Structure 1
Amino acid sequence: PEGVYFLPALYRTAIIAINQLPVTAETLWLRLLGRGKTQDQAVGELLELPQGNAFRENVLELLISWRVSMEINNILETEDREVFMTLSQTYQEWKEATKQEGRQEGRQEGKLESIPRLLALGLSVEQIAQALDLDLEQVRQAARE
């Protein structure tokens, strides 16, 4: 493949020229590890991936973790700082969305946990569904558990 140079079989080694790799989804991770224009283009591609894309979220999380460890050691170069500033906003958006999702799941779980107590107070499944803004089937399912 373009950008990959194999040494003689005896060495079982290949050299990857990151800046010569084709611009494809398969090479995105390696191009993110590059420098300059190659890395900038790869970061742009990463940020264009839809939110919720597992690859996008995993890479952002890894890059932010790496940034934190680099800052602790105070060895980020100017170029690296620029890349991370670009990623910071995206990471913050992802982090906030994750928190919001967690809050919603917590509220939903709280509603479902209250169903047995409400049934014990004599409320009907329909009344509970209406009061908690849940589907009837969700209330019935929670009542069975």
Structure 2
Amino acid sequence: MSKLYDLHSYLLREAKRQSQPELGDDVLPNLWILTPTLSAQILEGLGAKLELDKWGEGVYLLSPTLKTGIIVIHQLPQTPATLWVRLLGKGRVQARAIQEVAALPVEHPYRNNALDLLGNLKVILEARETIEPEEQELIMQLSPLYLEKLQAAQQVGEQLGEVRHAQAQTVRLLNRRVGDVSTEILARVNVLPLERLDDLLDAALDFANLSDLIAWLDLNE
């Protein structure tokens, strides 16, 4: 919290130095404290209050003057909106959040982003000289997801390699059949998916001039 007040002081000084209007309280930033757990006794001692209508369970606010909120991760509801924060929890809360990530559809953007972050977490934990039992359990839980991410990346790399090879073959053949292909036409060829590149490769054997290529692209893009 002292860092928050130092930041407020800095912003107020900068506004004054640049002859800007004094910053109002609604402009100054708030502090959010994230913690895996926190006892009711400490929350009561801090005067932290729930605002269920606005924030829901697990989110406590201190006095408005303090401009500070506390997110108690293990109290958050198990919803997609809280998934990212629950990944920062511990024990069963974190384990459940990881299971939710694994259950997301393969194409879901949350899933891919979370797998990247969880893979980094696994590497960091394994690099420690001393690994706590709870961390070892987490590593075991992350290992299948990490392997899945590596396999997916390898598959994407292989597919990209096939596309690049097909593009090179197609361009070489086109240059032989219709002469040097312009940059504009080449751009149209290079955005074709792999199956369309195969079709173009076959069709190019019958091309007599550039007009044949342009006509084919107009029909098949």
Residue 120 of structure 1 and its aligned partner are, at CA, apart by 4.4
Q: Does 1:136 align with 2:214?
A: no
Q: Is the 8 A contact 2:57 2:75 kept in 1?
A: yes
The alignment's C-alpha RMSD in Å is: 2.8
- Name 1:17's counterpart in structure 2: 72
* Superposition pairs of residues 89-104 of structure 1, within 5 angstroms: 89-104=144-159
* Superposition pairs of residues 1-145 of structure 1, within 5 angstroms: 1-122=56-177, 134-136=198-200, 140=213
Residue 80 of structure 1 and its aligned partner are, at CA, apart by 2.1
Residue 75 of structure 1 and its aligned partner are, at CA, apart by 4.4
Q: Is the 8 A contact 2:126 2:139 kept in 1?
A: no
**What does the per-residue CA deviation read over 1:24-73, in whole Å, with 9 as the maximum and x for residues that have no partner?**
10101111111122112111111101113221121121122122223323
**In the alignment, residue 125 of structure 2 is paired with which amino acid?**
M
Residue 112 of structure 1 and its aligned partner are, at CA, apart by 1.1
**In the alignment, residue 67 of structure 1 is paired with which amino acid?**
K
Partners of 1:85 and 1:96 in 2: CA distance: 17
Partners of 2:103 and 2:168 in 1: CA distance: 39
Partners of 2:135 and 2:111 in 1: CA distance: 19
Structure 1 alignment gaps of length 5 or more: 124-131
Q: Is the 8 A contact 2:86 2:97 kept in 1?
A: yes
Partners of 1:18 and 1:62 in 2: CA distance: 18
- Name 1:126's counterpart in structure 2: none
Query: Structure 1 length normalisation: TM-score?
Result: 0.78
Aligned pair count reads 135
Residue 122 of structure 1 and its aligned partner are, at CA, apart by 4.5
Query: Structure 2 length normalisation: TM-score?
Result: 0.54
Residue 133 of structure 1 and its aligned partner are, at CA, apart by 7.0
Q: Is the 8 A contact 2:88 2:94 kept in 1?
A: yes
User: Which structure: larger Rg?
Assistant: 2
- Name 1:128's counterpart in structure 2: none
Partners of 1:117 and 1:106 in 2: CA distance: 17
- Name 2:188's counterpart in structure 1: none
Partners of 1:66 and 1:28 in 2: CA distance: 16
